[in-house]
Amino acid sequence: MKSRTSITKNFAIRSITATALMTAMSAIGSNVVFAQSMAGMQHGDMKSMGSDGSMQMHMAMEESHKKMNDMQMSGDTDHDFAMMMRAHHQAGVDMAKVEVASGKDPEMIKEAKKIISSQQKDIQKFDAWMQKHPSK
């Protein structure tokens, strides 16, 4: 049985490591750092990070955030709304596809399929609108 001190020390080390990793990822804004840091982790550490599907979903969200942060605003509120909502809906589709592929719960998989269908329709609407209304 582990002593309370060793448990506390282990928790502190993991917390510091996680904080350092998140800070590095945030500062650099790249999934490469995440992938490289994951390569050095032991199998037991991977379990605490979640399933492969969870990691894929997290990476899809991070990529989406990067794309949205890099978007250049046109100054046209309507166009910018359509552009950003399109990207937001695409992130939802990407995450839902991971759920369909890796999820276990039938209810969540059913919801993910609904999200894919409805948000792809929304994306088509945003694309059509932006085609008719190019930014100035």
32 and 56 fall within a common domain: no
Round to whole Å and give the CA distance between 54 and 101.
11
Q: What is the pLDDT of residue 1?
A: 53
At 53, is the pLDDT very low, low, confident or very high (cuts 50, 70, 90)? Answer: confident
Collapsing DSSP to helix, strand or coil, 40 comes out as: coil
Strand intervals (E) in 39-97: none
13 and 32 fall within a common domain: yes
Q: What is the pLDDT of residue 41?
A: 44
Residue type, 69: N
Per the structure, the complete domain to which residue 2 belongs is given by: 1-49
Spatial CB neighbours of 60, under 8 Å, sequence gap ≥ 6: 91, 94, 95, 98
Residue type, 45: D
From 34, 49, 64, give the residue that closes a domain.
49
120 and 58 fall within a common domain: yes
Q: What is the pLDDT of residue 128?
A: 97
38 and 102 fall within a common domain: no
79 and 45 fall within a common domain: no
pTM here is 0.60
With beta carbons less than 8 A apart as the criterion, state whether 70 and 39 touch: no
79 and 97 fall within a common domain: yes
Round to whole Å and give the CA distance between 57 and 34.
13
Q: What is the pLDDT of residue 136?
A: 72
Q: What is the pLDDT of residue 57?
A: 84
Give tens-digit pLDDT for 62-114: 888 888 888 899 999 999 999 999 999 999 999 999 999 999 999 999 999 99
If one counts every other C-beta atom within 10 angstroms of the C-beta of residue 90, the result is 20
Round to whole Å and give the CA distance between 18 and 48.
11
The structure tokens listed for 104 are: 């276990």
